[in-house]
Amino acid sequence: MSDQHRTSDEQATPGSHGYAGWQPPQPPRLDGTSYQSAPESPYSYPAPAEPPTQGGFDGSEPPNPPEAGSTAPQGGHARRGLLKGRLALVAAVATIAALLGGVTGGVIAERRDASASSSAATIVSPVSINSNGTANISAIAAAVSPSVVQIVVKTSTGTSTGTGVILTPGGQILTNFHVISGAVNGDGQMTVTFKDGSTVSGSVTGTDKALDVAVVTAAGVSGLTPATLGNSAGVAVGDQVVAIGNPEGLTGTVTSGIISAENRQVSVQVDEGSTRSNGGFGFPNLPGLNGLPGRSSGSSSGSSADTATYKAFQTDAALNPGNSGGPLINANGQVIGLNSAMYSSSNSNSTADTSAGSVGLGFAIPINDIKQVLPKLQAGQNL
């Protein structure tokens, strides 16, 4: 075989140097000419390519993965650095989003809590004011009358009649102390009459003689309609008001008027003897009455320990014996006071002459003052 043919065969066979066609360097020819490859025969065909073997395409074994701690090739290191940078960016964005989400959620929760608290503090208005700003008296009467009851206490010495305001569906009722004073010691028998005419027995739950208020409980009842207690701090002189009560036993009587004055200091005898003799109503000791400060419109055998003193709303809504313990209601149908006393122009030496009736000087205990002690009374305390 000539050198040229050998060279062609060697080119067609993969050498030990890893790729086909590689020629080993040739020593220089003696005549100074270079070796020439034999011209390719037009009838020759290239040898078919061998299928790649396991590993590299040249049959070599694949490189082993780098061991832990070894330095990766430069290209892999760049790719890994880029990947780590992207992962760090994603993690940072997720962290910021979580923080913002937490802050936003906290603000929303706080606003919801504030909104819930605000809603809880809002007082319902059972009645809407007329479009011209006046009180809708017939609507007030219809809305609140089911929450008003008549209270009668009979003792061995007489009968006391008054009014009460339903506090709970289970039968707790707010009234004046002087209305139920005969039943405090267990001597008097109390009955409660509802708007529908039904009557049940009642018992004293809690009392505050100094403020002339009490809570009683009607026996064996449920599903009653409680009145809405308003905010007496918002009351102004000239506001329209409605009174509902049982004057002289005339149940469900409705009268109306305005707030004539605020913070009138009133002292009322709350002993059983005084209230029994005037039909269960408080007759106040008004400062400056008949030009004599502290002079009462009547005398009483009660001691100073049986006197309640408070700052009252003055109203010209007609109040008469039997209205004690009834609600004084604003234009929204909310109870803003408890009717407790009235002035009578009768002879100052008489304690029970009520023939003159109402003269437009009625007094009510502000409901905010009552709210301060009401939970204790409902819990059964005697203050």
Within a domain: 184: yes
What is residue 50's predicted lDDT score, i.e. its pLDDT? 56
Q: What is the mean pLDDT of the chain?
A: 74
Report the share of the chain in percent with pLDDT over 70. 55
Name the least confident of 16-25, 178-187, 240-249.
16-25
Name the least confident of 48-57, 193-202, 242-251.
48-57
Chain CA centroid to CA 288, Å: 46
Candidates 8, 160, 212, 260; catalytic one:
212
Residue 234 CA to residue 119 CA, distance in Å, equals: 18
Does residue 138 have an active-site annotation?
no
Confidence of residue 218 (pLDDT cuts 50, 70, 90): very high
Does residue 212 have an active-site annotation?
yes
Candidates 8, 160, 300, 324; catalytic one:
324
What is residue 116's predicted lDDT score, i.e. its pLDDT? 41
Give the tens place of pLDDT for each residue, 300-334: 444 556 888 899 999 999 988 889 999 999 999 99
Within a domain: 180: yes
Does residue 8 have an active-site annotation?
no
What is residue 293's predicted lDDT score, i.e. its pLDDT? 35
Which range among 21-35, 226-240, 282-296 has the greatest average pLDDT?
226-240
What is residue 77's predicted lDDT score, i.e. its pLDDT? 57
Range of the structural domain that residue 258 is part of: 137-378
Whole-angstrom CA distances from 157 to 160, 175, 188, 299 are: 10, 21, 9, 19
Give the tens place of pLDDT for each residue, 156-182: 888 888 999 999 999 999 999 999 988
Name the least confident of 95-99, 189-193, 224-228, 261-265.
95-99
Within a domain: 204: yes
* Helix (H) or strand (E) segment spanning residue 200: strand 199-208
Within a domain: 124: no
What is residue 231's predicted lDDT score, i.e. its pLDDT? 94
Candidates 8, 160, 178, 340; catalytic one:
178
Residues 6+ apart with CB under 8 A from 353: 344, 346, 347
Whole-angstrom CA distances from 226 to 77, 114, 148, 174, 331 are: 79, 27, 9, 10, 17
Within a domain: 34: no
Report the share of the chain in percent with pLDDT over 90. 39
Within a domain: 154: yes
What are 111's two structure tokens?
């606003």
Which CATH number do you get for residue 354? 2.40.10.120
Within a domain: 351: yes
Give the tens place of pLDDT for each residue, 251-291: 889 999 999 999 998 888 787 666 555 544 555 655 555 43
Q: What is the total count of domains within the chain? A: 1
What are 88's two structure tokens?
């760090």
Measured on CA atoms in the order 271, 274, 277, 279, is the torsion positive or negative?
Answer: negative
Within a domain: 78: no
Query: Is pLDDT above 60 for 152?
Result: yes
Averaged over 213-230, what is the pLDDT? 95
Q: Is 272 helix (H, G, I), strand (E, B) or coil?
A: helix
Name the least confident of 12-16, 100-104, 216-220, 263-267.
12-16
